Chain A
């Protein structure tokens, strides 16, 4: 039963951090420059990896679904499959996983190092609330930038699918794009935008939580970095499932 108690306590502490972040959001002071800096670090900094991931995912999706569709003589509708898969599922989830690996781990390592070298205690001693100064800007950046990065991943993924469809599968460009638009409904786009907002909040807040709880010197920082990626990735995949279930219930009655 000890492990269950530990899990409950961890969740309770995490929720307390989320509460503190929410309070910081609606009260002053607000460290605007730190927020801008984090928007840049999370958004612009993750652009390359997200573009590469999105492109290759779209390309492989076109290749695989093209082969399967061939069995039914339906190669022409490859665009529909690529767009629906990218926008509803692969774009949000893969982007979130890549950002977890890049940003979540970085946040845990940075905050963890600050904890073990007493920089967080020094911040508090100097009259700064670390939640406002360090956590809130990162959480805002994650929540705002992940949807934007997801849109980019969706776009380059669909473009990657187009390259493969036209060059490898010999599908006409107009047929591909027709299918892309026909395969998407407004509800799909909403689903593809709501998911990354939640996932972005989750992965960054988990990175901050794990980082701030670091103990045990440099070894502890290494442990926190690993934990942030593992916990963040599992949380992203689990939250994606429950969100999908919820959104399907609400949007497709």
Chain B
């Protein structure tokens, strides 16, 4: 792929933004999906309100990552409705989906960084390549997001020169660079050591609490899931500090447990901890 910092002859389509202040960020309504004979989702429903977070838990193959791909329109459900910012994405064409995706950021498992681009080019890909923002403004925004994830000094490195944790943080920077209203995280801490995983968790918390981003985190790392759900970020002068979330904030992050393609549990962290369901207890233990 060509260097995205050098603007292509491309003329990006202008993207009208809907007034979606009142609409839920994401709605899943009775979504079914199968691949050949294998049923992945059978009647999954949930609503993500703006500024809130859902943490989707479940065993491997439970349909967690599939849920994120349905939201992005990378997959279409067999039945049911998927709404993003007031638009029904399961009925949109690929070109219409590009408009919806302008408000979505996705952090893929393993990062999915573009190998041939530097960290700076990866982080600013959407702005360099798909927007009309002046280059100086894009450079400034890229510096800002790389600073946000603590990688400002790594801007000119290639992804292959980064550690696993740094790659995930660049992926977060890339997803947030265009200021999307919704961020989707697919196993953001899987395969990372506990200390590095915590730094990634903190970035997710910061984006939720300081930037007001609605988000869905797919994971099977329970420790990270509860850390994200029960901690809160706030500004303390020039610094950011992390504290235990007060009760009213705890309600803004809900867990969804997927089991056999269905929602087996939906509720906040304390309700999940108190559950008497045998499967859930076994999963949490």
Residues of chain A whose beta carbon lies under 8 Å from any beta carbon of chain B: 28-34, 36-37, 113, 117-119, 121-122, 124-129, 133-134
Contacts and interface: CB of A to CB of B under 8 A. Distances in A.
A32 B98 contact: no
B174 A118 contact: no
Contact of B109 (A28, A37, A118): A118
B3 interface: yes
Contacts of B114: 119, 122
B248 to A, nearest CB: 32
Nearest to B104: A125
B2 A33 contact: yes
Contact of B9 (A30, A113, A119, A121): A30
Contact of A122 (B2, B11, B108): B108
B10 A31 contact: yes
Contacts of A121: 69, 72, 74, 108, 112
A126 B130 contact: yes
Interface string B148-183: 000000000000000000000000001000000000
Contacts of A128: 129-130
B9 A127 contact: no
B130 A117 contact: no
A30 B10 contact: yes
Contacts of B7: 33
Q: Chain A CB within 10 Å — which of B1, B9, B12, B98 has the most?
A: B1
A32 B10 contact: yes
B110 interface: yes
A115 to B, nearest CB: 11
A37 B1 CA distance: 8
B10 A125 contact: no
B94 interface: yes
Interface in B1-20: 1-3, 6-13
A218 B100 CA distance: 32
Interface string B20-48: 00000000000000000000000000000
A25 to B, nearest CB: 14
B101 A127 contact: yes
B78 interface: no
Interface string B94-122: 11001001101110111011110000000
B8 A126 contact: no
Given A31-B10, A33-B6, A117 B102 contact: no
B73 to A, nearest CB: 8
Interface string B48-61: 00000000000000
A220 B28 CA distance: 33
B87 to A, nearest CB: 15
Chain A to chain B: the 7 pairs with minimum beta-carbon distance, closest first: A32-B9, A29-B10, A118-B112, A33-B2, A122-B112, A33-B8, A125-B106
Given A32-B10, A34-B1, A122-B106, 6 more contacts: A29-B10, A34-B8, A121-B108, A125-B101, A125-B106, A126-B101
A133 B10 CA distance: 10
